[in-house]
Amino acid sequence: MEHFIELRDICKSYGQQAAVCNATLELKKGEVFSLLGPSGCGKTTLLRILGGFQYPDSGRVIVNGQDITDLPANKRPINTVFQNYALFPNMTVWDNIAFGLRVARMTRKEINVEVDRMLELIDMQDHARKKPGEISGGQKQRVAIARALVNKPQLLLLDEPLAALDLKLRQRMLIELDNIHDEVGITFLYVTHDQGEAMSLSDRIAVMNNGSIEQIGSPVEIYEAPGSSFVAAFIGDTNFINGQVKEKIDHDYIRIELEEFNSVLAWNDKQLNPGERVDLSIRPEKFRLFRNKPEATPYMNAVEGTVEDIIYLGAQTKYWIRVGEKLVSVQQQHGRFLLDETPITWGENVWVCWHANDGYMLQRFDEEDASMLPLPPEEDLEDDEEAQ
């Protein structure tokens, strides 16, 4: 199938600084695609290039097989929901939604029908005559979406649309956005720095860092099979384990000699040979904690350590276990915490276990990405003191 929207080798720099470098993306018709990355990673630049507010230094933008790279914003079949909504403060809700239709010189009758239909979609019929200053943040958000959708764009760009809302409202709007997407079936390009939003809304995600795209994939792929240490550390929490291949156990599994502690087993995803470097990412919730050494089962790893720190989070508890020189972060769900479990406490000796399949081999590893991972509270404190 021909891809619906394509960005080919887009580069854009401001002065000396490259904001986007060789970005290539393909969007399928009707999907929700997210650009996810920390601030300054170039995701907004990419969105502005798609919207026609900026032009790339090189590369092409193609919609439906047609090259629109040099088309200005007002001639593109693309509409945008801006970060701060950018509702026109001097116009009513109704006039805001009608703006694009008026510009397109539709008849008064058509405009009335379309605007009323949109107001119904966002459930704002009662607020049509209000000015943007008189409605709440969530309502502004809905008006901004309606104002863009009423033009029947081929692609809707959403630039951090929920950033200005509080947590509860954000969760509600997320569901609402999903419903609106189901209803209109337009392709959405969603830009955000919030992994939660991207994961729950998107069909596919592109993770960006320093102006280039690190990985593109479904939320599951991105979380379970991160391509690089950046993706692994930016999305969720993880542990990095670095070492060398010691020996091949069988066709699929290897034994790894680690820098920090005992040798462990891992699934040989990359088909590495002995002597080669290995970087593993293991999510904290993949570990199991035991007071006593569990019985050995095939491909199971078990290492001994002491509990250094505990944070009780309600739904789960987070532990930092010192294993040799390494701090391993572990996340555990629990049953009836107070009644029939004796909680693991500080200083206890525990066994950390995981299956060889739970460690995922990273394609690229950068030492610095480890600094994104959360540290136990005490370490944070020490860091602060050093900083001062």
Question: Which stretches of the chain bind other proteins, using CB under 8 A?
Answer: 51-53, 55, 72-75, 78-80, 82-84, 86-90, 99-100, 103-104, 147-148, 151
Residues 137/165, Cβ–Cβ less than 8 Å: yes
CB of 253 to other proteins, least distance (A): 53
CB of 172 to other proteins, least distance (A): 24
CB of 143 to other proteins, least distance (A): 12
Nearer of residues 55 and 337 to other proteins, judged by Cβ: 55
- Closest-CA residue to 239 (of 269, 260, 208): 260
Nearer of residues 156 and 225 to other proteins, judged by Cβ: 156
Nearer of residues 82 and 351 to other proteins, judged by Cβ: 82
Nearer of residues 95 and 269 to other proteins, judged by Cβ: 95
CB of 153 to other proteins, least distance (A): 9
Tokens of 190: 């969603």
- Closest-CA residue to 217 (of 236, 234, 202): 202
CB of 24 to other proteins, least distance (A): 24
Nearer of residues 132 and 227 to other proteins, judged by Cβ: 132
Distance CA 249, CA 231 (A): 29
- Closest-CA residue to 326 (of 381, 258, 236, 380): 258
The letter for the amino acid at 17 is: Q
CB of 45 to other proteins, least distance (A): 14
Distance CA 46, CA 192 (A): 12
Edge to edge, the sheet with strand 212-217 lists 78-81, 155-159, 187-192, 32-36, 204-209, 212-217
The letter for the amino acid at 241 is: I
Nearer of residues 131 and 246 to other proteins, judged by Cβ: 131
